Amino acid sequence: MAGISSEVLDLHGDMIKKLREIFSRTQLNTILDQAVSRRLLTNDQRDKVTSMEKLFSELKANGVIDYGDYERISKILNDQDVEAKKIIDHYTKMIRKKRDAGYSQGCHTEGEDSRAGPKPKKTQISSRDPLFEDEHEMEQKRPRNAGALRKPINDTHDARIVHTWKKAMDAVGFIEGPCCTGTGFRVGKDKILTAYHVAEGITRKDEHSEPDRSLLETDDVCIKFNFLKGSDNLPTFYFEDKLWGDKEMDFAVLQLRVKDNTTEACYPEGIKRFKKASPENTFALLGHPEGKPMQWDPNVRILESNEEEKRLKEMKTHWRSKQEWGFPNIRDKHSVLFDCWVQHGASGSPGIEMASDGEPTCSLMLIHGYPDFVFDKKKYQVVPDDHPYMIEQGVTMEAIANKLNKMGKDAKAVKKEIFADIF
């Protein structure tokens, strides 16, 4: 610790103590998962971290943070609790003041030139903005380890993850109608699961008309698979005029058909594994927000009840001064709340986890974002400061299965086809 004053060390320790007090063990696990996915920690380090103090120690050993420079971990912590950034910003200011005073008085670490002065401040990153636009940019900006022959950290992963996400991606489709798009995914023998409001939207001739179910069996409505950036000639399928679902719970099961009704359909393989939704596990969402090529949003976690209460209180305080509240049915008994990046247009996206054998397993489906009005660009333009006060909702697979079981003989058969005896 040569050259670091005791005052800086004390402030650093006090900051970590404050952060430790606001995060549960479940939240810490989510933070660690995100740190690994962003290559701030190795898998081996992640398994050893049992506290906030140990996390910061490992991050400093990896050169990710330094005294007064916490930007890279601040974003991850802030995604879990907006109070974290306030704490870090508060202590960062004090630590830098003490640290820089030490530099100006000739206090410096071994090997440093005391004449170099304080370290330049890093650019602050918005709390919900990605660190880099894409992987290529991340590679360009990652330190090259000064030409060393050995990689600075071990960032290997269980190769099953490739199998999991390839199978999940193949099952997710881009749903398109005359004036509406959304996301859906393959289930059962020849079914698509999506949000009810997506199923209604794709049966409107224009944005001002009422839904017309007969449009479902026309060629104006379809689902395209493998819609990735740069892809074309997408496998495209169509629907019959059949729907099993519930408007209040916002889910719909649609029946696929082939366009000419004669050839044997070769549908993409569907999701076959399902489980109960739990805040103990992180999941990823795959969808088509705003009609874009497929997006993958990893390390999403369901909020626990106490976290929901705290978040909703903060949200309503933030939005009260801007617009009327837009939170209808936000705490519905059939659904759960979480933070994600795939939002408007991604309704119908499955929440996927990797099972122990590498198979993709679905626990929920994205159906809604809150507050309502922020997704209407004619009424409101979202700014970066709004993002911590937005939240998403998903209906659980268990709730869908139970509802289908109570909707009559045909719906019960659909439940059996999709979920078997899982729920």
CB 178 within 8 A of CB 260: no
pLDDT at 142 over 70: no
Question: Residue 137 above 70 pLDDT?
Answer: no
Count of CB atoms situated within 10 Å of the CB of 146: 6
Domain 273-401: which CATH number of 2.40.10.10, 3.30.1490.190, 3.30.460.10, 3.40.720.10: 2.40.10.10
What is the C-alpha end-to-end distance of the chain, expressed in Å?
A: 56
| Cα dist from 265 to 68, 199, 412, whole Å | 60, 22, 24
**Does the structure show a pLDDT above 50 at 377?**
yes
How far is it, in rounded angstroms, from Cα 41 to Cα 51?
14
CA distances from 299 to 134, 279, 282, 362, 391 (A): 17, 12, 5, 14, 15
DSSP state of 272: -
CA dihedral defined by 75, 76, 79, 80, rounded to 10 degrees? -140
Assess whether pLDDT exceeds 90 at residue 294.
Answer: yes
Query: What is the pLDDT, as a whole number, of residue 382?
Result: 80
Q: How far apart, in Å, are the Cα atoms of 387 and each of 62, 257, 314, 363, 374?
A: 29, 40, 12, 25, 10
40-94 pLDDT, tens digit each? 998 889 888 989 999 999 999 988 999 999 999 998 998 888 889 999 999 999 9
Give domain limits for the chain: 6-112, 174-269, 273-401
Predicted TM-score of the model (pTM): 0.68
Average of pLDDT values for 404-418? 97
DSSP lists the bridge partners of residue 230 as: none
3-state secondary structure of 46: helix
DSSP letter for each residue of 317-379 = HHHHTTS----TTTT-TTEEEE--S--TT-TT-EEEEE-TTS-EEEEEEEEEEESGGGG-TTT
Coil, strand or helix at 234: coil
* pLDDT(223) > 80: yes
Q: Which fold has domain 174-269?
A: Thrombin, subunit H (2.40.10)
Cβ neighbours of 104 (radius 10 Å): 11
